[in-house]
Amino acid sequence: MSVTHDPYEEAKKQLRQTIDLLGLGDEVYEMLAVPERLIQVRLTIKMDDGSIKTFIGWRSQHNSALGPYKGGVRYHPETNVNEVIALSMWMTWKNALAGLPYGGGKGGIRVDPKKLSPSELERLSRAYFAAISDVVGVDQDIPAPDVYTNPQTMSWYFDEYSRIKRGQYFGVVTGKPVELGGLETRVISTGYGTAIAAREVAKKLFGGVEGRTVAVQGFGNAGYYAAKFLSEMGAIVVAVSDSKGGIFNSKGLKIDDVKKVKNETGSVINYTDIEKKITNEELLELDVDILVPAAIENVITEENADRIKAKAIVEAANGPTTPEAEAILTKKGIVVVPDILANAGGVIMSHIEWVNNRMGGWIREEEAKARLEEKMVNNFHAVWDYWQKKLDTSKYNMRAAAYAIAVDRVYRAMKLRGWI
């Protein structure tokens, strides 16, 4: 994360632009620029060696006009309150755009989870969920995994909440393991959804994704599955990276073999069937058809936007492109499929899981996957058509269209509820 870019400032800038585009007043901007509720919690836990350590966590509940707050919790050493607020605002737009009955929320703990043992992580996770237990709930706020949290984290959250509230509240978190009411498909869903978004934009720009070159920055859950499904769809994934660096092979990387090496050695850079190693910065500037930033925010900035050669950018990460960079990309004619559209697969599957929990387990995996695909395709085309038909495409990118649809939905819900 770059020090000079504050994601909350960027999120507010994007909101301002959308409010102006839709011709809504300042009072709407002011309502949406701040979260409805923001909680900071102090988490003090006993470490394995007997010492005591204190961590800070947050939950930002941005907007509930369309339904209960929904969004993940990230564990990251650089997470801060402004990042969490920005991410919660992006969840409001993402959920609205996807047509889900959810508002937006996000949580975070400032911690390097790689430095904690599993039992320390369990104590930290339970402490966090206990601390926010009065403001989350099946119909209040439904957390899920995000950066460095996973189905195990969700199991601890679910158990802690159920213990405190004396019940079995499966619907209080999504992204749970299958044994505890989760869906097999949830793990692949963000990356799978991103691959579908990339396939759809490739159809528009090149007539199809087959034979097109792709670079993926980040090899976590989203990046790995995006790369895997894109190569299964016939794209040539020439580069991938993780926090330690990247690898390049013009003939295409075998994604499952790369994953094996990452699992065994801790990084993709130890994979040997490559032409060269590259840095994360070099990966972004490769001459490929499709670039998929799948790591963290603010990696495409006004400093490197001019050197980006990809024809389309499909944002698997949240907030990888700054507004200044986006203006440069738009001028260059680079199509950006925005995060709130391209990475919505995770929360779309979360919704299916939540509905399934409330029905006591009903949905079949194949049905869940088909629903995800259908929703991603429909959402992509709704945004594309709005962009092409209602906006000047030389001035506005797809993000403007996605934001316009999302903010308008939230605005209408607020109006109907009598908030404005």
Active site residues: 106
- At residue 145, φ and ψ (nearest 5 deg) are -70, 155
- At residue 4, φ and ψ (nearest 5 deg) are -80, -10
Q: Is 404 in the site for ligand GLU (CB under 6 A)?
A: no
Nearer to ligand GLU, 113 or 346 (CB): 346
Burial 247-258 (b: 16+ CB within 10 A, else e): bbbeeebebeeb
Please report which helix (H) or strand (E) contains residue 71, including its range: strand 69-76
Mapping DSSP to helix (H, G, I), strand (E, B) and coil, where does residue 211 land? coil
Q: What is the token pair recorded at 68? A: 């209960």
Give least dist CB 388 to ligand GLU, A: 26
Cα–Cα distance for residue pair 93/405, rounded to 1 Å: 9
Q: Is 174 in the site for ligand GLU (CB under 6 A)?
A: yes
Cα 15 to Cα 110, 182, 223, 327, 419, distances in angstroms? 26, 34, 27, 15, 18
Give least dist CB 225 to ligand GLU, A: 13
Cα 367 to Cα 89, 144, 185, 226, 342, distances in angstroms? 30, 21, 10, 20, 21
Give the residue, chosen from 60, 318, 321, 357, that forms a contact with ligand GLU under the rule CB under 6 A.
Answer: 318
Region of 133-141, 262-270, 277-285, 344-352 interacting with ligand GLU (CB under 6 A): 344-352
Q: How many residues bind ligand GLU (CB under 6 A)?
A: 13
Q: Is 231 in the site for ligand GLU (CB under 6 A)?
A: no
Mapping DSSP to helix (H, G, I), strand (E, B) and coil, where does residue 111 land? coil
Give least dist CB 414 to ligand GLU, A: 21
Give least dist CB 193 to ligand GLU, A: 10
Give least dist CB 214 to ligand GLU, A: 21
Nearer to ligand GLU, 239 or 317 (CB): 317
Cβ atoms of 301 and 284 within 8 Å: the answer is: no
Give least dist CB 376 to ligand GLU, A: 13
Cα–Cα distance for residue pair 292/196, rounded to 1 Å: 12
Nearer to ligand GLU, 91 or 258 (CB): 91
Give least dist CB 142 to ligand GLU, A: 7
Cβ atoms of 292 and 214 within 8 Å: the answer is: yes
Give the residue, chosen from 124, 144, 291, 410, that forms a contact with ligand GLU under the rule CB under 6 A.
Answer: 144
Nearer to ligand GLU, 57 or 246 (CB): 57
Q: Is 350 in the site for ligand GLU (CB under 6 A)?
A: yes
Q: Is 146 in the site for ligand GLU (CB under 6 A)?
A: yes
Cβ atoms of 76 and 149 within 8 Å: the answer is: no
Nearer to ligand GLU, 157 or 271 (CB): 157
Burial class from Cβ neighbours inside 10 Å (0-12, 13-18, 19+) for residue 389 reads: exposed
Nearer to ligand GLU, 142 or 255 (CB): 142
Tokens 């499909």, residue?
314
| Span between the terminal Cα atoms of the chain, in Å | 36
Nearer to ligand GLU, 155 or 213 (CB): 155
User: Can you name the residues that pair with 397 across neighbouring β-strands?
Assistant: none
Give least dist CB 62 to ligand GLU, A: 13
Map the footprint of ligand GLU across residues 29-88, applying CB under 6 A: 70-72
Instruction: Please give the residue whose beta carbon sits closest to ligand GLU in the complex.
Output: 72
Cβ atoms of 39 and 59 within 8 Å: the answer is: yes
**Rg of the chain, C-alpha, whole Å:** 20
Side by side, the strands of the sheet bearing 104-110 are 37-46, 52-63, 104-110, 69-76, 141-145
Nearest to 340 by CA among 367, 325, 321: 321
Q: One symbol per residue from 83 to 122: x for binding ligand GLU (CB under 6 A), - otherwise; what is it? A: -----------x----------------------------
Give the residue, chosen from 121, 201, 347, 410, that forms a contact with ligand GLU under the rule CB under 6 A.
Answer: 347
Cα–Cα distance for residue pair 152/157, rounded to 1 Å: 9
Cα–Cα distance for residue pair 16/126, rounded to 1 Å: 37
Nearer to ligand GLU, 79 or 174 (CB): 174
Interface residues with ligand GLU (CB under 6 A) are 70-72, 94, 144, 146, 174-175, 318, 343, 346-347, 350
